[in-house]
Amino acid sequence: MTIPQPQPAAQKTHAAPYLVPLLVGSLVAVALGVYGRAHTPTGYAVGLAGFSGAQAMKSWLTTGTLLLAVVQVASALVMYGKIPGVRGPSWIGGLHRWSGRVAFLLSVPIAFHCLYALGAQFDVPRVMIHSLLGTFFYGVFVAKMLCLPKRDLPGWVLPVLGGAVFTALVGLWLTSSFWFFTTFGITL
C-alpha cells in the first residue's frame, strides 16, 4: 500500500518586485515627454539675483546637482564596501540620503523651467538628447524611489537604477551646462 505524500503548497508566483516601479517610472518619463511636446512653451523666464539670466542660473544649479550626485555615487560605493580599505562611518547613510534629497530639490526648478518655458525640443541633436535625457532622468528616479522600500529586490536593482540616474544627469550636464560654459564662458 502506498502512503499518500503531502503535496508541496502551491508556490506563490510573485511578479518581480521591480516591475511595477519600472512601469510607473516609464509612464512618468513618457508623460513628461508628451507634456513637453504637447504644450506651447511659455518662454517664461525665472531670474535669481546674481545670475545674468535663466540659462546661466540653470547651468550653475545643474552643476551643483551633479556635484551632489558625485557625493551620492561615492557614498553608495562606500556603503556597498566597494572601496578597499574604507569602512563607512556611521553617518555615511545620512550623507547619501541628504545629498540625494538636496540634489533632487535643486533639479526641480531647473526642469520646471525647461519643461514649462522651453518644452521638449527635437530640432538640434544636442537639445533633443538633452530633452530625452531629462524625461528619462525623472522616470528612472521615480523607479528608484519606488524600489527603495522593497526588501525582496535582487541585489543589482538599486545599483543599476542609481547608476542610470547618475549617467542621465552626467548626460544632462554635458548637453546643457557644459555646452553653456564652453559657448559663453564660465560666467554667472
Single residue of 28, 62, 68, 100 touching ligand HEM by CB under 6 A: 62
Burial class, 29, CB count within 10 angstroms (exposed 0-12 / middle 13-18 / buried 19+): buried
Residues 156-175, interacting with ligand HEM (CB under 6 A): 172
Using DSSP's 3-state secondary structure scheme, residue 5 falls into: coil
One-letter amino acid for residue 70 of the chain: V
Site string for ligand HEM, 122-161 (x = CB under 6 A): -----x--xx--xx-xx-----------------------
In sequence order, the 6+-apart residues with CB closer than 8 A to the CB of 83 are: 77
Tell whether residue 120 is a contact of ligand HEM (CB under 6 A): yes
Tell whether residue 99 is a contact of ligand HEM (CB under 6 A): no
Closer by beta carbon to ligand HEM, 130 or else 144: 130
Closer by beta carbon to ligand HEM, 109 or else 159: 109
Nearest-CA neighbor of 37 among 95, 120, 100? 120
Tell whether residue 69 is a contact of ligand HEM (CB under 6 A): no
In sequence order, the 6+-apart residues with CB closer than 8 A to the CB of 14 are: 152
Single residue of 98, 104, 178, 179 touching ligand HEM by CB under 6 A: 179
Ramachandran angles phi, psi of 39, nearest 5°: -90, 155
Q: How far is the CB of 127 from ligand HEM (least distance, A)?
A: 5
- Positions in the binding site for ligand HEM (CB under 6 A): 32, 36, 55, 58-59, 62, 65, 107, 110-111, 114-115, 118, 120-121, 127, 130-131, 134-135, 137-138, 172, 176-177, 179-180
